[in-house]
Structure 1
Amino acid sequence: MRILGIFALLVTASFFLGSCSTDFELEADWKDIPVVYSFISTQDTAHYVRIEKAFLEPGGNALEIAKVTDSIYYANITVELQNLNTGQSYTLQRVDGNDEGYPKDDGLFANNPNVLYKIPASVANFQGGNQIRLTINRGDELEPVTAETTVLNEIDSISSSPTRVIRRWLYQESKKISWRPGPEAKIFDVRFIFYYKEAQPTTPTVFERKSVEWVVDRSVFNETNSDRVETEAFGESLYSFLGNAIPKSNGEIRQFDGMELVVTGAGEELYQYVRVARSNTGITSSQSIPTYSNMSEGLGIMTSRYTMRRPGFRLQEEALDSLISGVYTKGLGFR
């Protein structure tokens, strides 16, 4: 099964960085600037590459040109992925992301068609540890665009950190969240999905399952290549988040229905992107924010990712009491 939200991760700077941004000048002297994003994962049923171009002839209207499909997509390019471990090369097929189930967000840029380049995972059969090279041939005697990444291996959970049954989680108490990454993973995003059932006061026995997603830590680094990585989550952060994310009860009846831990790791390339962006976004930063890219030409990121999911976390006893009657969540109608 494909991982949902793959192309939310293709702009994963926001996924890991929050509000950080990297600005670069697009309206300048004419130059062909490819903008490329690809996240290779052994968990996906297909591998995709998004390729757009950013250029504007002097004096052009940027807002108008952005709406023209031919202005942001290449008409005739070939896109290849090569497994450097086996020597096998694969030519990707041009597809419409809207037909693939990955519509492009509405905005200033043309979104129909939403051009992507695809190879089924059953054909490429990449494995953890494989080194993959992307090659984009644009023609017109332009240099090929190349990038490389190493496919991530599995991320393993540590069952005791935290335990699945949480009986006590005081506001100022932290829970350690630990996992064992493969050697290629350098940056991690940690979240809990909080599930609950909700019934309307007119139909108190008919429940609908709902969920909210709590971001524990957007960017945990593994700079020392440790075989165990961890972060911590505070009880007050959880209950405060729930108090804001779930609407106050107007008679709705709610029941806690478990939590799922989700840890997503990415490779060296995304780690470098985030590190470079963070290095110049503080109070003493300069006006020009540096941009990291592992493309030989243009801008963008090719990296790999892996998502570990660990369901079945339960709040019991004092921890459940804090959800039902705590200062942040007492108005949510949990029973």
Structure 2
Amino acid sequence: MQKKFLPLFSFLLFLASSCSTDFDIASDWKEITVIYGLLNAGDTAQYVRVNKAFLSENTSALEIAPIADSLYHNPPAQVLLKRIDANDNVLQTITMQRVNAETEGILKDNGLFATNPYYLFKTNATLNPDFKYRIEVTTPENKVITAETDVIANFDAIRPDPEFDISLLSENYTMRWSPSDEVGIYDMDLYLRFDEQYITPTGSIVTEPRTIKWNVFSNLNRETSIETGKVTYDLNIDAFFAFLNQNLSDVDSVEYRYFKGIDFMIHAGSNELKTYNDVAFAQFGVTASQILLEYTNINGGLGLFASRYSKQILNVKLSNQSQDLLACDPRTKALKFASSPGNPAYPDCN
């Protein structure tokens, strides 16, 4: 099973700088419910974290943190996910089930706070992006905590397009995709795939597939990035070459690197997530799972309830001229990429 990492948000930051004016740190005990969830209509399962935050003037939080019972409601809270229309009518109610994250293949980062058990609330229900979703948490004390978010739908990517090769011959490669009112920010990751042929210490020639990842941008503002009705971003070719040089300088044993394809991931984050980033000056981007508590959109609690969607554009090719440029240009020649198969000197340069 593939292991997924879902970092626990920092209670220490919360203890240092709570944004709730109702939270009296001089009281003997104060308990508040914290909700963290990013819905994704492209996923087959949705997970939401619900637990307690606490302060005590008599007991150190460092003593309480490793105790799982102090983080979770007992008995467990009731967690409902409700699909609502524009008139606030409830069209569907989904009861989320509490699961142990470890059995789901989700690992929490190591740290001060309890890791076993690590509980989440889960549903496999299909989300409908045409509607808002409300989370409703009822604690054992019958306190109700709620939050709402839009759900981001799939969107059209115009460029890059697997049907058309990428050219590296210009200063920039312009990418375009359709905007959505539900989206506030975008991230993009680029995955360059190639076969690396190298000589082993025993003199054998081995070819292995490799992939390197480039975070092209993070927290791109939708509103300020629209040109002629489309979200637009210029990928700078010099920056791409600089990324390659920073990550592929280990060429001592390399004979050739054979280009295979490029995969793009456009990660869209909802307006709630954008507001969180704006307020908290977050550096994590859409794909991160950690939350800071300077901002909350939870009614009656703390945390973040938002949505995201990841658009894949797979197996985009470079033009033959671009493969030759990658192999022969002084900026990248030392990286030992092979020229295009149609080059008379293949895999070398003319």
Q: Which has the larger radius of gyration?
A: 2
Q: In structure 2, what is the equivalent of residue 16 of structure 1?
A: none
Task: Give how far 1:147 is off.
Answer: 0.2
In the aligned structure 1, how far is the partner of 2:2 from the partner of 2:274?
21
In the aligned structure 2, how far is the partner of 1:304 from the partner of 1:37?
11
Q: In structure 2, what is the equivalent of residue 145 of structure 1?
A: 145
Long gaps (5+) in structure 1: 12-20, 280-288
Aligned length: 310
Aligned 8 A contact 1:276 1:292 in 2: yes
Task: Give how far 1:201 is off.
Answer: 0.8
Task: Give how far 1:218 is off.
Answer: 0.3
Q: In structure 2, what is the equivalent of residue 24 of structure 1?
A: 17
Aligned 8 A contact 2:199 2:206 in 1: no
Q: Deviations over 1:236-270 (max 9, x none)?
A: 21111122223512313422221111111121100
Q: In structure 2, what is the equivalent of residue 242 of structure 1?
A: 244
Q: In structure 1, what is the equivalent of residue 166 of structure 2?
A: 166
Summarize the Cα distance change of 1:310–1:244 in structure 2 as closer, same or farther, 3 Å threshold: same
Q: In structure 2, what is the equivalent of residue 194 of structure 1?
A: 192
Q: What's the TM-score once normalised by structure 2's chain length?
A: 0.78
SS at match of 2:152: coil
Q: Which moved more, 1:177-186 or 1:325-334?
A: 325-334
Q: Which structure 1 residue ranges, 4+ long, deviate > 6 Å from structure 2? A: 160-163
Summarize the Cα distance change of 1:223–1:162 in structure 2 as closer, same or farther, 3 Å threshold: farther
Residue 106 of structure 1 pairs with residue 82 of structure 2: no
- Relative to its length, the structure with more strand (as a share) is 2
Q: In structure 2, what is the equivalent of residue 292 of structure 1?
A: 295
SS at match of 1:70: helix
Task: Give how far 1:200 is off.
Answer: 3.3
Amino acid at match of 2:239: S
Task: Give how far 1:327 is off.
Answer: 5.3
Q: Deviations over 1:200-232 (max 9, x none)?
A: 313866432221211111011123796521122
Summarize the Cα distance change of 1:328–1:184 in structure 2 as closer, same or farther, 3 Å threshold: same
Summarize the Cα distance change of 1:164–1:134 in structure 2 as closer, same or farther, 3 Å threshold: same
Summarize the Cα distance change of 1:4–1:231 in structure 2 as closer, same or farther, 3 Å threshold: farther
Trace 1:1-335 onto structure 2 (pairs within 5 A).
Answer: 7=6, 24-25=17-18, 28-29=25-26, 30-75=29-74, 76-85=76-85, 87-121=91-125, 125-141=126-142, 143-159=143-159, 164-169=164-169, 173-202=171-200, 206-223=206-223, 227-252=229-254, 253-278=256-281, 291-326=294-329, 329-335=332-338
Percent identity, aligned pairs only, is 30
Summarize the Cα distance change of 1:107–1:324 in structure 2 as closer, same or farther, 3 Å threshold: farther
Aligned 8 A contact 1:92 1:119 in 2: yes
Q: What's the TM-score once normalised by structure 1's chain length?
A: 0.81
In the aligned structure 1, how far is the partner of 2:71 from the partner of 2:57?
16
Long gaps (5+) in structure 2: 283-291, 339-350
In the aligned structure 2, how far is the partner of 1:72 from the partner of 1:78?
15
In the aligned structure 2, how far is the partner of 1:89 from the partner of 1:130?
13
